[in-house]
C-alpha cells in the first residue's frame, strides 16, 4: 500500500441544533467498485480510522464515515462534552439514515458496511429498517450485548431504567469519568494487545482535545439496554436480508461473544468467526490478528452472495 491519504471532512445538519461531521476518502487510481460505510464504536471518532479507510481504498472502495452525535466533532448532547449520553439508539439510526440519504444515495455505487462495536449494533438496526440498501456487512466485535458479570447485568439494567426516570439520565455511571490523558495507559487495557495501535486514539486527542469523550451516563446505558432487547427479537432480525459476517474477538471483555454467535444464527444470511487471542478492537490489534481479520474480510467480500 502506498502513502496514506486523509479524509476530506464535511458537516451537515439533519435537524435543527444538530451538526454531524462526516469524512470521505476516495479511490484515485481507478473507478471505485463500491463504497463502504465505516461505522466506529462508542468514544471513537473519524481520525482513528484513517489507516482502516486506506485499507479499503486500496481494495478499490470509496469510504464514508461519520462522528456519531455526542462524539468526535459532531454536536454533543450535554453541557459536559465528556459525558457519553444518548436519549435513544433510534437517534443513532436516524443519523445514519440521514447520512445515507445525504451522501451515499447520490454516489450511485453499491454500498457495504464495515462496523465496530456500537457501530455494528447501529448497522444491524439500520439494515433491518432498510433491507435492500446494503450489499454486504462486516461487523467487528458488534455490541450485540454488553459483557457484564453475573448479577451486575440485571442490576445495571434495572438501575439505568429507574435512575433515568429520576433525573439522573445525564449522570455518570459508577466508575465513569471525564477523559484524562494520564489514565490512557496501555498496561492492563482490555481493547488491544498492540501498544502502537492503542496510542492512535490518544495521539489524535492530544492534537485536538475536543475529540475526547469520557465514560457513559445512566441515560446512555438505559438506551443501550433498550436497543439490545430489540436485537434479541428473531422476527426483527429476519428483516435483515444483507449477507452479514460477524467477526468476534475470543478474549473480548467489552461485549458478549456468545450473544454475537447466537445472533448470527438467527440472520437470514449470517456467518460468524471467532478470532483467536484477540481483544475487543480487531482492527487495531497485533499484526497477526489484523492480518487474520483482513483475510476473512477479503474472503467474505469475494464470495458470491447467492452462495449464502
Q: Cβ distance 241 to 215 under 8 Å?
A: no
Is position 226 within any domain?
yes
What pTM did the predictor assign?
Answer: 0.96
Is position 200 within any domain?
yes
pLDDT of residue 4: 79
C-alpha dist (Å) from residue 38 to 17, 97, 107, 272, 301: 24, 14, 16, 19, 15
pLDDT of residue 287: 98
Question: In the numeric block, which cell numbers belong to residue 74?
Answer: 459532531
Residuewise pLDDT in 10s, the chain (308 residues): 456 789 999 999 999 999 999 999 999 888 999 999 999 999 999 999 999 999 999 999 999 999 999 999 999 999 999 999 999 999 999 999 999 999 999 989 999 999 999 999 999 999 999 999 999 999 999 999 999 999 999 999 999 999 999 899 999 999 999 999 888 899 999 999 999 999 999 999 999 999 999 999 999 999 999 999 999 999 999 999 999 999 999 999 999 999 999 999 999 999 999 999 999 999 999 999 999 999 999 999 998 754 44
Is position 251 within any domain?
yes
pLDDT of residue 78: 95
Cα separation, 24 vs 104, whole angstroms = 11
pLDDT of residue 1: 46
Cα separation, 140 vs 120, whole angstroms = 7
pLDDT of residue 307: 45
- CATH number of the domain that 270 lies in? 3.40.50.1820
Is position 124 within any domain?
yes
pLDDT of residue 303: 86
HSE toward the beta carbon, residue 205, CA cutoff 13 A: 20
C-alpha dist (Å) from residue 91 to 88, 95, 104, 122, 237: 6, 6, 19, 10, 19
Give me the numbers of helices (H) and strands (E) for the chain, helices first please: 10, 8
In sequence order, what DSSP letters do the residues of 204-246 get, joined into one string? HHHH-GGG----BBHHHHHHHHHHHHHHT-HHHHTT--S-EEE
Helix axes 218-231, 152-165, angle to 10 degrees: 120
289: which residues sit within 8 A by CB, 6+ positions away? 193, 275, 277, 278, 282
C-alpha dist (Å) from residue 69 to 11, 168, 169, 216: 12, 20, 17, 14
Is position 58 within any domain?
yes
pLDDT of residue 304: 75
DSSP structure class, residue 173: P
DSSP structure class, residue 255: B
Is position 86 within any domain?
yes
Number of folded domains that form the chain: 1
pLDDT of residue 2: 52
Residue closest to 36 by CA, chosen among 12, 52, 13: 52
Q: Which domain holds residue 218?
A: 8-301
Q: Coil, strand or helix: which one is 170?
A: coil
Amino acid at each position: 500500500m502506498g502513502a496514506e491519504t486523509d479524509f476530506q471532512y464535511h458537516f451537515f445538519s439533519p435537524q435543527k441544533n444538530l451538526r454531524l461531521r462526516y469524512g470521505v476518502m476516495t479511490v484515485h487510481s481507478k473507478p471505485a467498485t463500491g463504497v463502504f460505510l465505516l461505522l466506529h464504536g462508542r468514544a471513537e471518532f473519524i481520525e482513528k480510522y484513517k489507516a482502516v479507510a486506506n485499507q479499503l481504498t486500496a481494495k478499490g472502495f470509496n469510504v464514508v464515515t461519520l462522528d456519531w452525535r455526542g462524539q468526535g466533532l459532531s454536536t454533543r448532547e450535554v453541557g459536559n462534552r465528556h459525558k457519553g449520553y444518548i436519549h435513544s439508539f433510534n437517534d443513532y439510526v436516524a443519523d445514519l439514515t440521514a447520512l445515507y440519504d445525504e451522501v451515499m444515495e447520490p454516489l450511485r455505487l453499491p454500498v457495504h458496511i464495515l462496523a465496530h462495536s456500537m457501530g455494528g449494533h447501529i448497522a444491524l438496526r439500520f439494515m433491518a429498517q432498510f433491507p435492500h440498501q446494503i450489499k454486504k456487512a462486516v461487523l467487528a466485535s458488534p455490541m450485540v450485548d454488553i459483557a457484564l458479570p453475573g448479577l451486575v447485568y440485571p442490576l445495571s439494567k434495572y438501575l439505568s431504567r429507574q435512575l433515568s426516570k429520576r433525573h439522573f439520565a445525564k449522570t455518570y455511571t459508577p466508575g465513569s469519568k471525564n477523559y484524562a490523558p494520564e489514565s490512557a495507559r496501555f498496561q492492563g487495557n482490555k481493547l488491544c494487545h498492540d501498544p502502537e495501535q492503542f496510542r492512535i486514539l490518544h495521539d489524535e486527542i492530544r492534537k485536538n482535545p475536543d475529540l475526547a469523550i469520557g465514560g457513559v451516563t445512566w441515560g446512555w446505558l438505559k438506551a443501550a439496554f433498550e436497543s439490545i432487547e430489540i436485537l434479541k427479537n428473531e422476527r426483527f432480525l429476519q428483516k435483515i436480508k444483507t449477507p452479514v459476517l460477524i467477526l468476534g474477538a475470543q478474549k473480548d471483555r467489552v461485549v458478549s461473544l456468545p450473544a454475537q454467535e447466537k445472533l448470527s444464527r438467527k440472520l437470514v444470511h449470517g456467518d460468524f468467526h471467532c478470532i483467536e487471542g484477540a481483544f475487543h478492537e480487531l482492527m487495531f490489534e497485533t499484526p497477526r490478528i489484523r492480518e487474520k481479520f483482513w483475510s476473512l474480510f477479503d474472503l467474505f467480500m469475494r464470495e458470491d452472495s447467492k452462495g449464502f
